[in-house]
Structure 1
């Protein structure tokens, strides 16, 4: 089970970073509508969401939703995403086969997928073809 989760996580990381890289750094402030996040805010949200799901549902350490300040640029955002994926990877490597914790991993992955799908829409709005999905 652990090996499968780690493989799925690595695929999620690789595709998320590919999507983040597809957006030019000078377009990280782009948002298709005034009522939604910028691309940078969206990608930062994915990173923080990974940490929050990990704390609350995998480590089972309740924490409030209290995101840090938004990363200032594309480079910092991609570093934050990678750091967040590293944190989740460490937890999965140490996980005991507890149904609640496994459910937490899948919930975190689902959250990543949900917002990464939004990010691919941002790319298309900018005329950029998103990277090919791999699994």
Structure 2
């Protein structure tokens, strides 16, 4: 099961359990409990901004993992200039940023592996990214509307947790764009764009 399907399944399983519990409570109060469940559980509703971001995050994660798998292991040390990070360093940087923002500001569980000044192989980096994307996705999914509006102290000034979520996404997208250039410079055609 690929990363996105695994996370959607996990999300749907938790949402289903919550929906069943709410259904039992609502049946005694409302005749139309089934129509109320989606409104109350929130993330099941495709028009909910948090659900929209969660699914976009999973799609972006799968896109980055596809790019990672496409680059041959022998090119993970490729860097377009001496000052640039290598392909592998870019991946570790993405994971470290998700870990820092997620665990510091969004109540995400910290990553299980060291993410600084360590050299990993391709399969290890894929695992590191999968774990990082999953922990961030769970943190995003678990933030309620009130928590999204909580203000945190950030080095660039006070920000809401919603802004931190968008910052994490923007940082990931920024570095994924660089990875696409690395693929092109190595004569590889990147996967088809998907920004939804």
With normalisation by structure 1, the TM-score equals 0.88
Residue in structure 2 matching 1:34, options 79, 82, 100: 82
Residue in structure 2 matching 1:87, options 135, 154, 173: 135
Which residues of 2 match residues 106-125 of structure 1 at below 5 A?
A: 106-125=166-185
- Contact 2:67–2:191 (8 Å) recurs in 1: yes
> Could you say which residue in structure 2 is the equivalent of 1:13?
61
> Could you say which residue in structure 1 is the equivalent of 2:162?
102
Runs of 4+ off more than 4 Å = none
| 1:93, distance to aligned residue in structure 2 (A) | 1.7
> Could you say which residue in structure 1 is the equivalent of 2:126?
78
Deviations 1:47-102 (A, max 9, x none): 11111121233239xxxxx9433341111111100000011011012102123111
CA separation in 1, counterparts of 2:59 and 2:119? Answer: 23
Extract unaligned runs of 5+ from structure 2.
Answer: 1-48, 109-113, 150-159
With normalisation by structure 2, the TM-score equals 0.62
Structure showing greater Rg: 2
Higher RCO by CA contacts (8 Å cutoff, separation 6 or greater): 1
Extract unaligned runs of 5+ from structure 1.
Answer: 61-65
CA separation in 1, counterparts of 2:132 and 2:164? Answer: 15
What root-mean-square deviation, in Å, do the aligned CA atoms of Structure 1 and Structure 2 show? Answer: 1.7
CA separation in 2, counterparts of 1:83 and 1:56? Answer: 16
